[in-house]
Chain A
Amino acid sequence: MFTSLILSAAAAASGSSVPADGTSWTIHADKVYTSTGKVHESALIVVDGGKIRAITPGVEATRDALKAAVVTAGMIDASARLNSGTASVEQSSEVTPLISAEFGVDLFSPGWGRLARTGITSAFITPLNQNCIGGMGMVLKTAGDRSVKGRTVEGAPMICGAIGSQPSQRNSSAFGRPTSFFNRRPTTRMGVEWEWRKSFFEAAQAKEPDASQKVLLDALAGKVGVFVQAWATQDIRTAVFLKEEMAREGFGEMRLVIDAGAEAWREPAMLVRTNTAVILPPVPAQGRTTDGALMSVECARVLRDNGISFALSGHGGSRLDLQAGLAMRGGITREEALRAVTLTPAQLLGVDGRVGSVEAGKDADLILWNGEPFEATTRPVGVLVGGHLALDPR
Chain B
Amino acid sequence: MKSSLTQPLLALGATLLLASSAAAAPQVDKTAIKAGTVITLAGEAIPDGVIVIEGGRVTAVGAASEVQIPWDATVIDQPGMVAFPGFVEAHASRGIDRPNETLDVAPFLDVKDSIDPVNFYFEEALRQGILTINVQQGNDTVVAGQGMVVKPFGMTVEQMMVRPRSGVKISAAPKRGKTRATQAQALRGAFDDLQRYLEEMVQRQKDGDDFDRREALYQGRELEGEAAKGKPLACSGWTVDGFERVPRGEVDEKREPLLRIIEGKLPVIMWCATPMDVHAALRVAEANGFTATMTLALAPACWKAAAKIKESGCSVILAGLEDDELDPITGESIETFVPKVFHDAGIPFALMSTGDANRSLWYQAARCVANGIPRADALAAVTTTPAAILGLGDRVGKLANGTDGHVVLFSGDPLDITSVVEHVILDGAHVYDRSKDVRVKQLFDGTRPPGTASDTSGEEEWPGDGDDPEDDDDTENNG
By a beta-carbon cutoff of 8 Å, the part of chain A in contact with chain B is 3, 108, 110, 113-114, 117, 232-234, 237, 241, 244, 247-248, 265-267, 269-270, 273, 283, 285-287, 294, 296-298, 302, 322, 325-326, 328-330, 370-371, 374-379
Contact = CB atoms under 8 A, between A and B. Distances in A.
A379 B371 contact: yes
B333 A110 contact: yes
B357 A269 contact: no
Contact of B358 (A117, A241, A283): A283
Contacts of A270: 475
Contact of A285 (B332, B357, B444, B477): B357
Nearest to B462: A266
Nearest to B468: A237
Contact of A296 (B324, B326, B443): B443
B338 to A, nearest CB: 15
A322 B358 contact: yes
B474 to A, nearest CB: 6
A330 B444 contact: yes
A355 B358 CA distance: 30
Given A234-B465, A376-B363, A110 B443 contact: no
Most chain B Cβ neighbours within 10 Å, of A244, A269, A375: A375
A273 B362 CA distance: 40
Contacts of A375: 366, 370, 416-417
A378 B417 CA distance: 10
B120 to A, nearest CB: 8
Contacts of A283: 358
Given A237-B471, A248-B477, A296-B446, A285 B355 contact: yes
- List 4 tightest A-B contacts by C-beta distance, closest first: A376-B366, A325-B417, A296-B446, A285-B356
Most chain A Cβ neighbours within 10 Å, of B362, B417, B446: B417
B220 interface: no
A108 B326 CA distance: 13
A329 B420 contact: yes
B6 interface: no
Nearest to B447: A296
Contacts of B357: 285-286
Contacts of B366: 375-377
A247 B446 contact: no
Contact of B442 (A3, A285, A287): A287
Interface in B436-476: 442-446, 461-462, 464-466, 471, 474-475
A244 B474 contact: yes
B478 interface: yes
Interface in B160-212: none
A377 B370 CA distance: 4
B444 A234 contact: no
Contacts, number: 98
Nearest to B478: A244
B418 interface: yes
B304 interface: no
B369 interface: yes
B328 to A, nearest CB: 12
Nearest to B366: A376
A287 B366 CA distance: 23
B443 A287 contact: yes
B335 A117 contact: yes
Nearest to B333: A110
B415 interface: yes
A379 B370 contact: yes
Contact of A298 (B326, B445, B462): B445
Given A114-B333, A273-B475, A286-B443, 4 more contacts: A244-B477, A270-B475, A325-B417, A376-B370
Given A267-B462, A326-B358, A374 B443 contact: no
Given A110-B326, A110-B331, A375-B416, A248 B478 contact: yes
Contacts of B462: 233, 266-267
Given A117-B335, A241-B474, A267-B461, A376 B417 contact: yes
A234 B464 contact: yes
Contacts of A330: 444
Contacts of B475: 270, 273
Nearest to A286: B357
A328 B369 contact: no
A354 to B, nearest CB: 27
B225 interface: no
Contacts of A265: 446
B367 interface: yes
17 contacts: A110-B333, A117-B335, A247-B478, A265-B446, A266-B464, A269-B461, A273-B475, A286-B357, A287-B442, A287-B443, A298-B446, A302-B445, A328-B417, A330-B444, A374-B417, A377-B369, A378-B370
Interface in B337-394: 355-358, 362-363, 366-367, 369-372, 375
A267 B445 contact: no
Contacts of B372: 3
A24 B295 CA distance: 50
A297 B370 CA distance: 23
B458 to A, nearest CB: 14
Contact of B332 (A110, A273, A374): A110
Contacts of A108: 331
Nearest to A324: B417
B83 to A, nearest CB: 20
Contacts of B465: 232-234
Most chain B Cβ neighbours within 10 Å, of A269, A330, A376: A376
Nearest to B417: A325
Contact of B466 (A234, A267, A269): A234
A114 B324 CA distance: 10
Contacts of B331: 108, 110
Contacts of B464: 233-234, 237, 266-267
Given A266-B462, A285-B357, A297 B443 contact: yes
A212 to B, nearest CB: 28
Contacts of B466: 234
Contacts of A298: 444-446
Contacts of B363: 376
Contacts of B335: 117
Contacts of A113: 332-333
Contacts of A287: 442-443
